[in-house]
Structure 1
Amino acid sequence: MHGARTSAASLTGIWQGLYSYNDGRDDAPFVATLLDLGGAISGTTHEPCPVGASSSGLAFAEISGRREGAAVIFSKTYDGTSGLDHTVLYEGTLSSDGAEIEGTWIIPGGSVGRFMMIRGGGRKEGAALEMAAAA
């Protein structure tokens, strides 16, 4: 068996992301820095926050979760400095080349939507940045 094996792919690195809402709100870009230690995922995110929510203009969150083969499951909890302090649950699938994660997110008792994350570097990152800029 040769070639990329999703189950062995580490998620450690910088990821460009975009999440969308199912209710028609604008898509939102984010950057995630992940550390994958044998499938245990931790890290941070930063993203533009809603107008007036933060003097810095950015919302920061911590990530905690796991990777099991191609399945990626994590929670993102905002740190409160931006006025946001809720938790978002993410479930996604890692692509066979280990460069993209796509799936769904939910705020328990609240909004739902889709997300995608693309590992830093290369053409795919450029495409993600273009999508985020157009949002």
Structure 2
Amino acid sequence: MVAAAGASQQGLASKHMAGRAEGVSQNLTGVWSGRYFYPRELPPVSFVATLIETATSLTGMTHEPAATSTARYASLQGQREGNAVSFTKTYDKAELKAHPIHYSGIINGDATEIKGTWRIPGYWSGNFLMIRSPGKVAAVTRKVAERV
């Protein structure tokens, strides 16, 4: 029985290390450029997101253009499990807080792209894409390390 438990733990460790080799365990902290797409013929919206990953927790902020003001700002709160992320975006303006937006996506192998879907339950849904360049990962990681 002990040997079986040991073999099971080795199998889990191998799977965990395989994920690291593929890059899916790389920290997501950094600045991301993104775009979300509406259904029908509405134009896509570009945004910039700053993500901070701590263990499995994911937090951050976004800003994007707005039709009536210079920009819309929102906070992000979510989690990561392996190569899957999910987070909720809540806009700072009171009239927009009533409709939090739920995002669910998959991280690519080198952790430079997150692709998935967004939805406002009962209203809208669509696709999104977030991209960061590998060079920005190291720069942002250094800044975070210096602050701590």
> Which category describes the TM-score, using the shorter chain as reference length?
0.7 to 0.9
Match of 1:30 among 47, 56, 61: 47
Match of 2:31 in 1: 14
Match of 1:109 in 2: 122
State the one-letter code of the partner of 1:4: E
Report whether the alignment pairs 1:88 with 2:101: yes
Q: Structure 1 residue 121: deviation in Å? A: 5.5
Match of 2:21 in 1: 3
TM-score, structure 1 length as denominator?
Answer: 0.79
For 1:45-69, what per-residue CA distance to the aligned partner results, in whole angstroms no more than 9, with x for missing partners?
00001x22x3xx1000000000100
Match of 1:118 among 121, 125, 131: 131
SS of the aligned residue for 1:112 comes to strand
State the one-letter code of the partner of 2:37: S
Task: From the CA coordinates, give the structure whose radius of gyration is larger.
Answer: 2
The answer to which structure has the higher helix fraction is 2
**What RMSD over aligned residues (CA atoms) do the two structures have, in Å?**
1.7
Match of 1:73 in 2: 86
- 8 Å contact from structure 1 (residues 59, 84) kept in 2: no
State the one-letter code of the partner of 1:92: G
Q: Distance in 2 between matches of 1:22 and 1:71?
A: 23
Q: Distance in 1 between matches of 2:35 and 2:134?
A: 16
Mind listing any 5+ residue stretches in structure 2 that lack a counterpart?
A: 1-17, 136-148
The answer to which structure has the higher strand fraction is 1
Match of 1:131 in 2: none
For 1:79-110, what per-residue CA distance to the aligned partner results, in whole angstroms no more than 9, with x for missing partners?
107x5333100000000111000000001111
Q: Distance in 2 between matches of 1:13 and 1:98?
A: 11
Report whether the alignment pairs 1:46 with 2:63: yes
| Paired-residue identity, % | 42
- 8 Å contact from structure 1 (residues 93, 101) kept in 2: yes
Q: Structure 1 residue 3: deviation in Å? A: 3.4
